[in-house]
C-alpha cells in the first residue's frame, strides 16, 4: 500500500479496509503525516474498554485534502487528536513528517504541535480577549516569532478578513470566527492542518465558505488538510475520503463527490 488511497483506487479495488504495512510515501510524493497500526483503547479494560481506533494504518500525502468520514463514535476525532499529538495511542505510531510522536518529550511535542500542526475545532476556540489579528498570529507570538508579512497578507486575503482584523471574536459571526480559526491554523505554515467538523456549527453558506478556504489552502497555498466531517457535501471538497467504522478504516474514495460519498455511506450501512 502506498500514498493513502490513490494507488488502491487506481487499481480499481475501492473496497475493503485500507490497512497494511507502512511503506512510506507513494507516487513520488512526501507524506505529511501517517498513522501506523494505530490503536487507541479508552478505559481500563474488560467491559468498560472502548477500542476507539483499531489497527488503523493510513498516510496523508503532502498537498492533499482528505476527508475522514464515518458514523458518530467511529473514531474520527480520536484519529485526529492522535495525529495532532493531543492524545496518545495505546499501540502503534503516529508520524508527522518523519517524526515519530512517541519519541518526543512533552516539551518537544508541545513545540511540534505549535510549529507544525494547525488544528481547527468545531467550536472555533478563539481567545475572546484578543482581536482577530491577534488570534491569527497567536501561534507565532507564542513562539516569539513575527508574522511573515506576505504570507499573513495572503492568508488574510484568502479568508477575506481584511476588514475584520480589529474585532474581537464576540463581534464576529460564527462563520467569521471560523475564518479566523482557519487563518490561525495556516499562519505558521504547518506540516498539516487537522480540522474536526469545522463546519459543524455553521449554516450552509458560512460552511461552504470555510470549505472553500480549506480547498484553496491546499490548491493555492500548497497546504495539507485532513478534515473530519459527516457531511457528504463537505467531503465533496476533498481530494480523497476515508471511511471509519468501529475504529477501523473500512473504505476510501478518490475525488469524492457528494453523490459518491452518499452511495458509499449507504453501502456501509451509515
Place of cell 459543524: 200
Distances (CA, A) of 233 to 4, 32, 104, 212, 257: 21, 25, 37, 12, 7
Number of residues located near ligand ADP, criterion CB under 6 A: 12
Interaction pattern, residues 44-73, with ligand ADP; x per rule: CB under 6 A? ------x-x-----------------x-xx
Q: What is the CA radius of gyration of the chain?
A: 18
Task: Give which of ligand ADP, Mg ion, none residue 74 binds (C-beta under 5 to 8 Å, depending on kind).
Answer: ligand ADP
> CA angle 106-107-113, nearest 5°?
90
Residue 214: closest CA among 206, 224, 205, 229: 224
Q: Nearest-5° angle of CA 86, CA 89, CA 95?
A: 75
Query: Which single residue is written with the C-alpha cell 467531503?
Result: 235
CB of 77 vs Mg ion, minimal distance in Å: 3
Q: Which does 72 bind (CB under 5 to 8 A by kind): Mg ion, ligand ADP, none?
A: ligand ADP
- Decide: is 75 part of the binding site for ligand ADP (CB under 6 A): yes
77 near ligand ADP (CB under 6 A): yes
75 is in the binding site of which of ligand ADP, Mg ion, none (Cβ under 5 to 8 A by kind)? ligand ADP
Size of the site for Mg ion (CB under 5 A): 1
Indicate the residue among 77 and 131 with the shorter CB distance to Mg ion: 77
Residues 63 to 92: which contact Mg ion by CB under 5 A?
Answer: 77
- Choose from ligand ADP, Mg ion, none: what does 267 bind? Cβ within 5-8 Å by kind: none
Among Mg ion, ligand ADP, none, partner that 73 touches (CB below 5 to 8 angstroms by kind): ligand ADP
Spatial distance between the Cα atoms of 75 and 59, rounded to a whole number of angstroms: 17
Among positions 66, 74, 135, 177, the unique one binding ligand ADP when judged by CB under 6 A: 74
With binding defined as CB under 6 A, does residue 78 bind ligand ADP? Answer: yes
CA distances from 52 to 55, 74, 224, 229 (A): 10, 7, 24, 17
DSSP state of 29: P
Yes or no: say if 38 and 55 are a contact pair by the CB < 8 Å rule.
yes
Q: Judged by CB, which is closer to Mg ion: 5, or 229?
A: 229
CB of 50 to ligand ADP, least distance (A): 5
Q: How far is CA 86 from the centre of its chain?
A: 13
Which residues make up the interface to Mg ion (CB under 5 A)? 77
Which residues make up the interface to ligand ADP (CB under 6 A)? 42-43, 50, 52, 70, 72-78
Amino acid at each position: 500500500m502506498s500514498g493513502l488511497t490513490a494507488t488502491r483506487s487506481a487499481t480499481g479495488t475501492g473496497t475493503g479496509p485500507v490497512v497494511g504495512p507502512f511503506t512510506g510515501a507513494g507516487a513520488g510524493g512526501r507524506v505529511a503525516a501517517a498513522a501506523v497500526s494505530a490503536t487507541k483503547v479508552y478505559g481500563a479494560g474488560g467491559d468498560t474498554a472502548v477500542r476507539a481506533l483499531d489497527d488503523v494504518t493510513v498516510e496523508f500525502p503532502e498537498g492533499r485534502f482528505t476527508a475522514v468520514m464515518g458514523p458518530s463514535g467511529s473514531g474520527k476525532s480520536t484519529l485526529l487528536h492522535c495525529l495532532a499529538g493531543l492524545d496518545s495511542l495505546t499501540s502503534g505510531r503516529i508520524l508527522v513528517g518523519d517524526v515519530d510522536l512517541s519519541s518526543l518529550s512533552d516539551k518537544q511535542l508541545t513545540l511540534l504541535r505549535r510549529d507544525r500542526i494547525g488544528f481547527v475545532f468545531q467550536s472555533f476556540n478563539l481567545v475572546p480577549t484578543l482581536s482577530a489579528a491577534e488570534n491569527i498570529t497567536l501561534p507565532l507570538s507564542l513562539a516569539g516569532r513575527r508574522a511573515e508579512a506576505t504570507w499573513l497578507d495572503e492568508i488574510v486575503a484568502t479568508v477575506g478578513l481584511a476588514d475584520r482584523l480589529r474585532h474581537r471574536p464576540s463581534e464576529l459571526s460564527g462563520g467569521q470566527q471560523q475564518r479566523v480559526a482557519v487563518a490561525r491554523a495556516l499562519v505558521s505554515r504547518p506540516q498539516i492542518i487537522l480540522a474536526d467538523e469545522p463546519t459543524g456549527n455553521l449554516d450552509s453558506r458560512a460552511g461552504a465558505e470555510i470549505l472553500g478556504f480549506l480547498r484553496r489552502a491546499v490548491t493555492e497555498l500548497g497546504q495539507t488538510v485532513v478534515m473530519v466531517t459527516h457531511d457528504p457535501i463537505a467531503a465533496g471538497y476533498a481530494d480523497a475520503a476515508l471511511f471509519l467504522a468501529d475504529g477501523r478504516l473500512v473504505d476510501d474514495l478518490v475525488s469524492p463527490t457528494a453523490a459518491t460519498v452518499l452511495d458509499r455511506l449507504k453501502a456501509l450501512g451509515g
